A and B are shown apart, each in its own frame.
Chain A
Amino acid sequence: MRKWISLLFATVLTATVAVACASSNDTAAGGGGGTSTLDTVLSRGSLICGVNGQLPGFSFVNNEGEYSGMDADYCRAIAAALFDDPSKVEFRNLSAQERFTALAAGEIDVLIRNTTWTINRDTALGLEFGPTTFFDGQGMLVAKASGVTAISGLGGKSICVQSGTTTEQNLTDKFRKLNIPFTPVVFDDEDALYSAFAQGRCQAATSDRSQLTARRQSLPNPDNYLVLEEVISKEPLGPAVRNNDSKWADAVKWIVYSTFQAEELGIEQDNLTQFASSTDPEVKRLLGQEGTLGTDMGLPNDFAARVIKHVGNYGEIYQRNIGEPFALERGLNSLWTDGGLIYAPPFR
C-alpha cells in the first residue's frame, strides 16, 4: 500500500514540474531567427528596453512612478520614432551581471543601461553599439579648501574608492603611471564612501564624473566641493543591440543621431511647428518632408520629427536629466560645433 503514496508523490511531482514549465507568455522579444528585431518590435507594438533603473540622471523611478533619466528618454525616443507614442516602452531593470545575457537571449530589444563601449564588448561579447549618448570618464571629487586643482596635486593623499570595480583598477594604473604615491581607502558601499569623504577621511573620492557630480549635490555643502576637470578613463555610454541585425542597429543608430542633428539645426520641442514650414532642404530631409530617409530603413519617414516632438533634441534631453539636476557642464558632450564630441553624420 505504501506504493500508493509514492505513486501519488511521483504524480504530483511531475505535475508540479509540468505546470512550472508550462506557465509562459509569448510577449517576449524574438531572438535571431532571420527576422529583424525591428519587425518584431513593430509587430509587438511596444519596445522592451533594458535599463539600470537605479542610477541618478540615467534611469530611475520618479515620484509619479514613471521612469526618468537620460537612458529612459532614449528608450522613449525609439518608441516615439516607431509608434509616435513615447509610452510604448516596457522598461526592464537589469543588473550589471545580467544585462548582456538578457540582450543575447532576446529578453530585451535594446540595452540602454549606462554601458561603456569597449572593444571586448563590441567583438567578443557579440554586441553592436549605437552612437555614444554620454561621454563619461572617471574623475576626482575634492574639497575646494584643499587647494587641489589637478590630479598631480593628489600625491601622498588618501583617496576613497569603491572596491571590485574597474574604477579601482583605473585609479591604481593612473597613479602608477604618474609615479605618485597615494593611499586607497576602499569601500564596498557607495553611500559609506561618500559619507566618509564628507567627514574628511579621505582627501578625494573617485568614480565616474556624472556620478561624482550627482553625489556632490547630496553632500552637506555642495559648494565646498569640486569635481576636477581631468579624467583618468574613457567611458563612452550608449545603446547596444545584438550583433548581426543591421536593420535594427541602423534604426537605433539613426534615431539617436536624429537627436544630435536636431540640436545642430536648432530644432526643439517648442519650435518644431515653426520648422515644419522651413524651406531649408536639410531640415526638410530630417523632418521627413522631403526624400525617403526614414522609409529607406523601414522606419516612418517622419521618425525624427516624432522623436523631437515627444522627447526633444539632444541638448534638451541632456539639460532635463543631467544639466539641470546636477549642474554638470556639457564638456565633451557639447556639439562638435562647440568643441565637443557630439557629431552626427550627414542626413542625406
Chain B
Amino acid sequence: MTTDTPVFVGPPTRQISPWAWAHKNLFSNWLNTLLTIVSVLILGWVVIGLSTWIFSQAQWAVIRDNFRLFLVGRYPVQALWRVWASLGLIVAMGGISWGILARNIRLLDRRGLLLLGILAATVVIVLALLTDPRSIALSLGMLVLLVVLAFVGQRLGQAYPPLGTWLPLGWLVGFLIAYALVRGLIGGGQPVKLDDLSGLLLTLLTAIVSIVVSFPFGVLLALGRRSELPVVRWLSIAYIELVRGLPLVTILFAAQLLVPLVLPTGIRPERVMRAIVGLTLFSAAYLAENVRGGLQSVPRGQVEAAKALGLNPVLNTSLIVLPQALKAVIPTIVGQFISLFKDTSLLAIVGLTELLGMGQSILANPQYIGKNAEVYAFIGLIYWICCYAMSIASQRLEKQLGVTHR
C-alpha cells in the first residue's frame, strides 16, 4: 500500500499568441474595438502631452539646485554625515530584515526584483539630480549595502530561525539610534533642535513616529470600546467619536495655537512635538475603529474555545483574538497609515516646513517664481514612492501571514 500524498495540479495554462490575446480582450466586437481605439487615443494624447512637458518644457533646474533642501531642509551642511549615517543604519536594518524574512525562499524572486528595481530607479533619479560625486558614491553604496546585507541576513536567518521574532525590537532600537544621530544627541557635535528639522526628513520623522505610536494607542482604544467596564467603554467611545468628528486641520491648529495660550509661561512643547501628538491622537481614533472591525470578525467560538482551555482574558486577547483580528484588517490599517503619511503635508499650513512647506518656501525664491508645476510634480513623486513602498510592504506582510489563503 502506498501512501503517496496526492499531487495537486492547477488548471492548465493556455498559451495564446499576443495577437489572439489582443483579439479576445480588445477587439472582440465593434463596441470593444471602438472603446479600445478611443482609450488608446486618449492615453496617447495624455502620455505625449506629459512627456513633452517633462522632457522639453519643464525646467528641472529648480529641483537640481534645491535637491538638498527638499530632502533634509535646513539641516546644517557640516553635520550632514549624521543623516547619511542614520540612512545607512536604516538601510542596513532593512537589508538584514529582508534576508531574515525571506530566509526560506529565493531572495531575488519576482517581487523582490521589482522592489529592488524601484529602489534602483529612485537612486537613478537621485543620481541624475546630484552633482556632488561623494553623494553619488554614497547612494550607490547604500544600494550595495542593502543587497549584501540581505544575503548576510538570509544566512543568519537560516542559522538562527528565532531571529525573526526579534526584528521589531531591532527596528525600534535602530530607529531610536537613527533619531539620536540626526538630532546630534550622540556622535558629538552641536545638537540640532527638533523644530529646526525640515524637508522630507521632517515628513518622515513625523509620519513614522505618529504611525508607530498611534498603533498601540488605537488597539487599546478598540479594546476599550468593547470593554465590559462602563467607564472605560464610555471614555473610549467619547474619545473616538469626538476626534473622528473633528477635521485634522482643526486639531493641528489647536495644537499650534491653543496649547501655548493654555500652558503657563515658560513651558512650550516643541512645535514638531505638538504636531506629532496631534497626528497621533487623530490617527488613533480611526485606527481604533479599523481594529474594532477586525475584532468583530473573530468568531465567538474562538474566544469560547480559548476560555475552555483555561486562558485568562489577557492571554485570550493577546494570543487568540488580536492576532486574528489584526490579520484581517491589515489592508485598512495600512490604508490608514498611508493616509496619515500624506496628511503630514497639512503641517505646511501650520507653518512647519515639511516637504510641501519646503517646496513652497523654495517657490518664493525670486529665481524660481512660477516653477510650481515642477516642484509639485517632484513632491508628488516623492509621496508616491513612499506610499507605494508602504503598499508593497503590506502586500508582503499579508503573504507572509497567509491572509489571502484563508
Do these two chains interact?
Answer: yes
Option from B69, B362, B369 in Cβ contact (under 8 Å) with A215: B369
Contact assessment for A31 and B227 in the assembled complex, using a CB-CB cutoff below 8 Å: no
- In this complex, what residue of A is CB-closest to B229? A6
- Fill in one digit per residue for A57-100: 1 if any B CB lies within 8 Å of its CB, else 0: 10111110110100000000000000000000010111101100
Question: What separation, in Å, do the CA atoms of A153 and B260 have in the docked complex?
Answer: 50
Question: What separation, in Å, do the CA atoms of A163 and B89 have in the docked complex?
Answer: 48
Option from B66, B351, B370 in Cβ contact (under 8 Å) with A93: B351
Option from B261, B273, B314 in Cβ contact (under 8 Å) with A105: B261
Contact assessment for B364 and A54 in the assembled complex, using a CB-CB cutoff below 8 Å: yes
Contact assessment for A191 and B372 in the assembled complex, using a CB-CB cutoff below 8 Å: yes
Q: Provide the residues of chain B in CB contact with A3, threshold 8 Å.
A: 229
Contact assessment for A2 and B365 in the assembled complex, using a CB-CB cutoff below 8 Å: no
- Least Cβ distance of A204 to chain B in Å? 19
Contact assessment for B362 and A60 in the assembled complex, using a CB-CB cutoff below 8 Å: yes
Question: What separation, in Å, do the CA atoms of A5 and B315 have in the docked complex?
Answer: 10
The reply on B357 being an interface residue by CB < 8 A is yes
Contact assessment for B349 and A95 in the assembled complex, using a CB-CB cutoff below 8 Å: yes
Contact assessment for A194 and B349 in the assembled complex, using a CB-CB cutoff below 8 Å: no
Q: Provide the residues of chain B in CB contact with A325, threshold 8 Å.
A: 366
Question: What is A's interface to B at a CB cutoff of 8 Å?
Answer: 1-6, 8-10, 12-13, 16, 20-21, 23-33, 53-57, 59-63, 65-66, 68, 90, 92-95, 97-98, 101-102, 104-107, 191, 194, 214-215, 217-219, 325-326
Q: Provide the residues of chain B in CB contact with A101, threshold 8 Å.
A: 257, 260-261
Asked, given contacts A61-B74, A65-B68, A98-B350, whether A4 binds B362 with beta carbons under 8 Å apart, the answer is no
Question: What is B's interface to A at a CB cutoff of 8 Å?
Answer: 65-66, 68-69, 73-75, 77, 193-196, 216-217, 220, 223-224, 227-229, 232, 253, 256-257, 260-261, 265-271, 273, 277, 312-314, 317, 349-353, 357-358, 360-367, 369-370, 372
Q: Provide the residues of chain B in CB contact with A23, threshold 8 Å.
A: 269-270, 273
Contact assessment for B370 and A1 in the assembled complex, using a CB-CB cutoff below 8 Å: no
Contact assessment for B365 and A60 in the assembled complex, using a CB-CB cutoff below 8 Å: yes
Option from A13, A63, A98 in Cβ contact (under 8 Å) with B66: A63
Asked, given contacts A54-B361, A62-B365, A214-B369, whether A24 binds B223 with beta carbons under 8 Å apart, the answer is no
Q: Provide the residues of chain B in CB contact with A21, threshold 8 Å.
A: 269
Q: Provide the residues of chain B in CB contact with A65, threshold 8 Å.
A: 68-69, 73-75, 77
Asked, given contacts A5-B227, A105-B261, whether A24 binds B361 with beta carbons under 8 Å apart, the answer is no
Contact assessment for A26 and B362 in the assembled complex, using a CB-CB cutoff below 8 Å: no
Contact assessment for A194 and B370 in the assembled complex, using a CB-CB cutoff below 8 Å: yes
